[in-house]
Structure 1
Amino acid sequence: MMFSKAFARYLHLNSSCWASEKSLLASLRKKTGYTFTNCKKALEMHSNDLVKAESWLHQQAQALGWSKATKLEGRNTSQGLVAVAVNKTDAAIVEVNCETDFVARNKAFQEMAEAAAKACLKYAEKQPHLRGPLTKIGLDSDQLSHLPTTSGKLLSDELALMIGSLGENASLRRALCLKVDTNVHLSAYAHPSGTERDNVFLGKFGGLVAIRQKEPKDVDIQALGRNLCQHVVGMDPKKVGTSFDKPNANPDDETCLIHQEYINDNNATVQEVLEQHGIEVIDFKRFECGEDLCKGFSEQPLAAVETCQ
């Protein structure tokens, strides 16, 4: 009888212990997303200490990510996403690349592009605004990799972790940050439209437009700014243009923004729309994923800061 009671107590204690371990295991798997085997190993190694087990799993994943990133380095990354983010006086546009369009549609890759845009926007917020209505700051791949994310990790670490998870090479290619005066309005757009994550626009093409009201007219500046940004993405102008620029004889070959047919009304030029609403375009930027940088954006070092008058 005593043996039965002792055995029953043994079964009860072990059953409770196993239930507790199962609960910890389920909690760790749900929180980290790692496999059953890895989570079980992490808990066993750290005496069921959930915090230490989670930390160890992340360290292992990071090491694996860097290992894979090193092996895959050099493989062509011409696909990917352009991510665009704005707040009242700051904006950022960034290009993140991968090998295939399939991975570019992956949620983890989209989260990486979102994290990069947010990191650039945070960086822009901390930079001094020089004289003039607009300051532009270019960031190259190396400078991007050293920016911290909201999680506290560097973008390069987040990228390595994603590479380890997806098994495909990826890279942080370039970014441009804008800072503007309070009387300048910033608009962002990405195409194909419809993909937006936490106020970050994602697409194969992305654009930023900075506009300012010259005359006190009744205008929905947010709607007009967005339409102009769509125009920049769709029509690919090369410069804003001034009164010294003559319109191209063939409207289809026009590369000066103010002389292009407005994308929302091909019976009017952009200049006519701007004059109608008392608006001027200070500057714009357009990124196309995988484009030849020799023909477009020239990657600038951190010290290369440009102001627009």
Structure 2
Amino acid sequence: MAVTAAMVKELRESTGAGMMDCKNALTEANGDMEKAVEVLREKGLAKAAKKAGRIAAEGLVDTFVDGNIASIVEVNSETDFVAKNDLFKNYVQEVAKQAAKTTAEDIDSFLGEESLFVSGSTVNEVLTSKISVIGENLKIRRFKKVVVENGVVASYIHMGGKIGVLVELESDVVNEAVVECGRNLAMQIAAVSPLHVDRSEVSEDYIEKERAILKEQAKNENPDKPDSIIDKMIIGRLNKQLKEICLLDQPYVKDGDLTVAKYVEQVAKEQSANIKVKAFTRFETGEGIEKKSENFAEEVARQMQG
């Protein structure tokens, strides 16, 4: 029996499963709607779909480093309790390893590629299986793969997976001291959360916008001062702000007498190396996700009824 778009739509609405999962189930069931529902339930897809509407704002960030190749991923869960579960932690590490091998450029392509850990299944199908086993909505939110051709990549995980950082260093010397430098910078980035490596990455639009805001602030605070004085005041304030958002300008957290730039120079001199901070990636679990506030007693009652 031919599977029509209307049949796929009907099955999707009744089970909440994905469109391709519904189409495949109908094909397997030869168009029998009840049998297709059973197929979805047997594969855990219908159960997982019911959980898909829940907000997954907890979870873990993890990294994986293999020589000059590294990855960082964020996998979300509904509760912090699940995020501390070894089954979930091991799964997130698998996702990080998958990301280090991937050729995908976006999350949809990543989810569609073949899993390295479950033969014959896609990354998304493995995710669906984990949702069924763990019993919460899970989401692979984002990933990044980095390759450093000449240098090192270092990683750091903060607060048990709440924050993860990768730092890419270009260096003509690769040894443990240079790797340690990268780890120290990753710790700095986790703690202080800069937005850029240095001022060259800050757009002129951002600077002009901030300058205008700072000028209005200064005028409101000093209404009697002429524009020439105001302009000098905002130069200092803008420089201070840029130091806060640019990694190399920040005070080094392990030695407040040094900036990060001076610390990197110091390591480079000690190792007779040319070291440059090429880039960094910082993921924080749940950032930007609106968390749903629920009454715990109501949630338990709802689970009992379901």
State the TM-score bracket (shorter-chain normalisation).
Answer: 0.5 to 0.7
**Structure 1 residue corresponding to 2:244, chosen from 254, 257, 270:** 254
Give the conservation status (yes or no) of the 8 Å contact 1:138–1:175: no
SS of 2:196's equivalent in the other structure is coil
1:289 is aligned to 2:246: no
2:159 counterpart of 1:192: yes
> Could you say which structure has the higher strand fraction?
1
For 1:91, the aligned partner's letter is A
State the identity %. Answer: 33
Q: Deviations over 1:140-187 (max 9, x none)?
A: 2x2232232223232212211111112111111111111221x22000
Quick check: 1:251–1:260 contact (8 Å CA) kept in 2? no
- 1 or 2 for the larger relative contact order (CA 8 Å, sep ≥6)? 1
- With over 3 angstroms needed to count, the CA separation of the structure-2 counterparts of 1:71 and 1:277, relative to structure 1, is same
Length, aligned pairs only: 211
Q: Say whether residues 1:207 and 2:186 are aligned partners.
A: no
> Where does residue 116 of structure 2 map in the other structure?
149
Q: 1:64: Cα distance to partner?
A: 4.7
CA contact (8 A) 1:232 1:286 kept: yes
Alignment CA distance shift 1:252-1:105 (3 Å): farther
Alignment of 1:33-48 (within 5 A): none
> Would you say the 8 A contact 1:62–1:157 is kept in 2?
no
Alignment partner of 1:150: what SS? Answer: coil
Question: Unpaired segments of 5 or more residues in structure 2?
Answer: 1-38, 203-234, 269-274, 290-306
For residue 261 of structure 2, the aligned residue among 271, 274, 287 is: 271
After superposition, the Cα gap between the structure-2 partners of 1:62 and 1:231, relative to the gap in structure 1 and judged at 3 Å, is farther
Aligned CA distance change for structure 1 residues 206 and 138 (closer, same or farther; 3 Å): farther
Provide the rounded CA distance (Å) in 2 between the counterparts of 1:121 and 1:286: 16
Q: Distance in 1 between matches of 2:188 and 2:177?
A: 17
- Matched with 1:159 is 127
CA RMSD, Structure 1 to Structure 2 (Å): 2.9
After TM superposition, which residue ranges in structure 1, 4 or more long, deviate above 4 angstroms?
Answer: 216-219, 242-253
Aligned to 1:237: 194
Q: Are 1:180 and 2:153 an aligned pair?
A: no
Q: Which residue of 2 aligns with 1:225?
A: 182
Q: Of 76, 90, 113, which residue of structure 2 is paired with 1:111?
A: 90
Contact 1:79 1:104 in 2 (8 A): yes
